[in-house]
Every structure is written in structure tokens, then in C-alpha cells.
């Protein structure tokens, strides 16, 4: 996968202020602030910064945490795992493998079949329904 690199000025021009804070400055949105409407069709959640497909809609589950949660990525090579020891906690940060944007964290308290909870910031993702014409390289 070819990496996408942009200057911080280019990212600022591309993203909303909240997306920039979360995706590029490793911020976190407040819990329970994302929309509650669930998609009525199949589809994918893509990186809001570069459009890389990251999660299938059918892997999303209600975790009760206030952030969108998924039990498996579309493919392991779509995400980068980075140790995160901030706030006196040991966590695993999840970044987009193509553009390096911060998406959220992964935890070992998810449902079967993986036991993983990919706890993502909603502003870091965009839903693309399967009916949408979409570039094949992003699937």
C-alpha cells in the first residue's frame, strides 16, 4: 500500500478543525457525541483523512462506551498498532496504515469472534454504503 504524506497545512485545509485535532493531533472526541443513526445498508467505514476502507459495517457493535466500536478490521494491513502509554495507561493506539492518522485504540474486551474492541473516534471515519460508486482500490 502506498503511503500518503501531506504537510500539516495540507491536512488542515482538507479536514475540519475537529477532524484535524483527532486525526492529526491524536485527540479524542467526547463520548456519546457521535450520531446514533445506524446505516440501513451494508457498507464500509473509511478513514476520514484518506478514504482507505477500514471496517465493514457488519463488524460494528454497541459497546456502551460512547464511541463507535468494531470487532475486526477489514484487513489487518489497513491499521497500524502503536504503543500508547499516555495518561499513565498502557494502551494500543490505532492509526490508518495509509496516512498515519490517529483513529482510536484497540482493547481485548470485545465480542466473539475476535475478542477485540476497536474503539474509534466517529470523526475519524466516514460511512460509505455499498451502493455508492467507490474506487476499487479502497475496498
Looking from the CA of 95 toward its CB, the CA atoms found within 13 Å total 18
Coil/strand/helix, residue 53:
strand
- Please confirm, yes or no, whether 99 is among the known catalytic residues: no
If phi over 0 gives left and psi between -120 and 50 gives alpha, with beta otherwise, what is residue 87? left
Catalytic position from the list 47, 96, 99, 119: 119
Residue 123's beta-bridge partner residues? none
Enzyme catalytic residues: 119
Amino acid at each position: 500500500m502506498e503511503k500518503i504524506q501531506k504537510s500539516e497545512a495540507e491536512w488542515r485545509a482538507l479536514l475540519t478543525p475537529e477532524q484535524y485535532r483527532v486525526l492529526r493531533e491524536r485527540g479524542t472526541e467526547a463520548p456519546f457525541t457521535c450520531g446514533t443513526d445506524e446505516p440501513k445498508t451494508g457498507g464500509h467505514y473509511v478513514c476520514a483523512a484518506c478514504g482507505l476502507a477500514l471496517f465493514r459495517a457488519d463488524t460494528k457493535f454497541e459497546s456502551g462506551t460512547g464511541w463507535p466500536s468494531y470487532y475486526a478490521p477489514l484487513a489487518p494491513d489497513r491499521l497500524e498498532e502503536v504503543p500508547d502509554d499516555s495518561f499513565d495507561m498502557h494502551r494500543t493506539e490505532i492509526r490508518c496504515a495509509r496516512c498515519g492518522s490517529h483513529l482510536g485504540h484497540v482493547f481485548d474486551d470485545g465480542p466473539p469472534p475476535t475478542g477485540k474492541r476497536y474503539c474509534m473516534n466517529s470523526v475519524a471515519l466516514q460511512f460509505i454504503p455499498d451502493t455508492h460508486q467507490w474506487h476499487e482500490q479502497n475496498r
